[in-house]
Structure 1
Amino acid sequence: MDKAESQLPPFVRCWKICCSLIFLLCLPLFAFGADEFRILVVLSESMTPYQTFAKAFQQNLPSNFQVRVLDHPEGFSAEDARADLIVTAGVKATDLMMNKAVPVLAVMIPSTKYVDLLEKQNRAGQISAIYIDQPLSRQVALLSAVLPESKRVGVLYSAESRIDLKDLHSELDKQGYKLVAKQVQGSETLSSGLDEVLEHSDVLLAIPDSNIFNSSYIRNILLSSYRRHIPLVGLSQAYVNAGALCAIFSTPEQLAAQASAEAILFAQTRHLPGPQPPAQFTIAVNQDVARTLDVTINPPNVLHIQVENIARVRR
């Protein structure tokens, strides 16, 4: 101890020693923190699909990734702004996180909603997405695998729908299908529009339009198509459970696997790729409906291979 140090009051010397010890004890923590990649996962709601996504996402990451999960976007704090990457699940979380000064990877969001939200921002290269909706080519490939002879494809859409009918027509035309599309607006025109489409269709294709395909209308749509022996191709397992012939969709676990791969890549490159459709997908089939409609349909694992092969050929 030098002379100046020895002349300090005892309590000051004790305080300095304690501070030094605290600093030394914390060194390993600081060193570990410097190597960590911090991800904030923000869920739109504390619902099972979002919770499943968050759990699977964390399980797919290396141990040196630090992940914090917010069940509600309103819980965002100043501490959360220190994250290296924000991963959002759902529209609400994406909307509320897009203005944060942290790169955002939006997951479980419809492509049309993402485009709408992105128009409000000016953060090129700092925001990207993994869509929840399947590419049109994949949906049409499922039609080709399940109903190759049902050439007239009915589609209902609202005025607010962002579906590109030109692209859908093009994809259907590539595989020999004809598009029968009808715009409807709420309950006033839904019934008559549905009857008109069903009269001229062999199959009804659901699209991600919440103004039509929602909990208020889906039961009537399914019953009407069922009575006419017109199969409905849905958007999720819930559709199949409710009476759709089949559906093609991506599970929270599949989207989490893709999102974690992008997060790992971002940690290495600090670059987000452009928005992309789901890489993996699942097919569900309602065999009871198939029997009632007298449709011979392959099991999901066989359909999965068929869809991949058809989509590959059509690229």
Structure 2
Amino acid sequence: MRLTLTPTNFKNLDKADSQLPPFVRCWKICCSLIFLLCLPPFAFGADELRVLVVLSESTTPYQTFAKTFRQNLSSNVHVSVLEHPEDFSANDLPADLIVTVGVKATERMMDKPIPVLAVMVPSATYFDLLEKQTRVKQISAIYIDQPLSRQVALLSAALPERRRVGVLYSAESQINLKELRIELDKQGYKLVAKKVQSDETLSSDLKDVLEHSDVLLAIPDSSIFNSSYIRNILLSSYRQRIPLVGLSQAYVNAGALCAIFSTPEQLAAQTSDATNVFAQTRHLPAPQPPALFTVAVNKEVARTLDVTTKSPDLLHMQIENEGGVRR
């Protein structure tokens, strides 16, 4: 809604009001002023919005996010970027909205007294941080992890004949195994889950899972799927001719058969949309998974394991059709 007052408007009003008694004219003026004061700020047009973007690191993925985020914003949104959350001080405020990128930045900024939109954080981490919140304010998130239904849709599209899905997990796993089992059951898959008790048992636990699985699904668990262990996990799965479905492009580059993930550019575009809406309404959207996603395939691994694969575009289309999600 926009209010447009022109000289012609005032002239017409003056003619009509001149015929009214003085006390009626005074009453109309008072009512008009009260009405204007009650209108929300955006009724007069888009107010400027000051956004502070706090990056967890200054590495390429975070810089890419910040650059893409700026490019998709409305002209009334003004952005400042803080590359290291530990450098934050009271001088960096005021802002109307803080966008935190990554876990480190989110942990640092969650207690600030203005709305926070956390991006590129695992959903489990976000809810853990939310439980510790004592301030009453707007907080929301755009997760980095894909919905379980989307991950299962990738299995269905890429490996329809491999029905036993192996999963290694620990106490630190950021996934709901009960929900994963439900999603797999819907598509006719069987979950073969094994809890890793310690670093010493990882090798034997992995061997046990691979013996009873047709495909190994990586999950967000830094105690298992990390740079120290991923090479051994990949080599063991190769020996058993069991493909690994990963969590990112890095997994595919390292030797996973395929992966589904959202790029910094895709997450930044979604964050820009949420910020543009906030600029108009001053309300954050509900916490949400990535709206946009990418599928990657390692064709060399597919040939080595004698697995017939579809192109990334075809897999994407099939997942999109099954899950009602967009690119």
Residues 1:144 and 1:124: Cα distance change in structure 2 (over 3 Å): farther
**How do residues 72-151 of structure 1 correspond to structure 2 at under 5 angstroms?**
72-123=84-135, 126-151=138-163
Deviates more, 1:113-122 or 1:150-159: 113-122
Deviates more, 1:202-211 or 1:35-44: 35-44
Residues 1:185 and 1:309: Cα distance change in structure 2 (over 3 Å): same
Q: Per-residue deviation at 1:124?
A: 5.2
Which deviations, in whole Å up to 9, do the C-alpha atoms of 1:42-98 show, x marking residues without a partner? 000111111110110011112221100000012222232210000010000000000
Per the alignment, residue 284 of structure 1 pairs with: 296
Matched, 1:69 2:69: no
Give the aligned residue type for 2:242: I
Could you list the runs of 5+ residues in structure 1 that have no partner in the other structure?
Answer: 1-33
Distance 2:175 2:136 in 1: 24
Distance 2:185 2:323 in 1: 14
Matched, 1:310 2:326: no
Contact 1:81 1:100 in 2 (8 A): no
Q: Secondary structure at the match of 1:82?
A: coil
Per the alignment, residue 246 of structure 1 pairs with: 258
Query: Which one of 148, 156, 168 corresponds to residue 156 of structure 1?
Result: 168
Which deviations, in whole Å up to 9, do the C-alpha atoms of 1:176-220 show, x marking residues without a partner? 000000000332110000000000000000001111111111111
Q: Per-residue deviation at 1:291?
A: 0.6
**How do residues 259-298 of structure 1 correspond to structure 2 at under 5 angstroms?**
259-298=271-310
Distance 1:208 1:243 in 2: 17
Contact 1:150 1:203 in 2 (8 A): yes
Query: Which one of 63, 73, 82 corresponds to residue 51 of structure 1?
Result: 63
Runs of 4+ that moved beyond 3 A: 122-125
Query: Which one of 151, 172, 195 corresponds to residue 183 of structure 1?
Result: 195
Per the alignment, residue 23 of structure 1 pairs with: none
Per the alignment, residue 13 of structure 2 pairs with: none
Deviates more, 1:195-204 or 1:62-71: 62-71
How many residues are matched? 280
Per the alignment, residue 258 of structure 1 pairs with: 270
Q: Per-residue deviation at 1:312?
A: 3.5
Q: Secondary structure at the match of 2:192?
A: strand
Matched, 1:174 2:186: yes
Distance 2:91 2:73 in 1: 22
Matched, 1:192 2:217: no
Report the TM-score when normalising by structure 2. 0.83
Q: Per-residue deviation at 1:35?
A: 4.0
Residues 1:308 and 1:125: Cα distance change in structure 2 (over 3 Å): farther
Distance 1:189 1:152 in 2: 22
Q: Secondary structure at the match of 2:54?
A: strand
Per the alignment, residue 18 of structure 2 pairs with: none
Give the aligned residue type for 2:240: R
Contact 1:139 1:248 in 2 (8 A): yes
Contact 1:40 1:86 in 2 (8 A): yes
Contact 2:174 2:220 in 1 (8 A): no
Q: Secondary structure at the match of 2:171?
A: coil
Distance 1:85 1:297 in 2: 44
Percent identity over the alignment is: 77
Report the TM-score when normalising by structure 1. 0.87
Query: Which one of 199, 213, 216 corresponds to residue 228 of structure 2?
Result: 216
Residues 1:43 and 1:174: Cα distance change in structure 2 (over 3 Å): same
**How do residues 33-48 of structure 1 correspond to structure 2 at under 5 angstroms?**
35-48=47-60
Distance 1:220 1:85 in 2: 43
Deviates more, 1:187-196 or 1:118-127: 118-127
Q: Per-residue deviation at 1:262?
A: 0.3
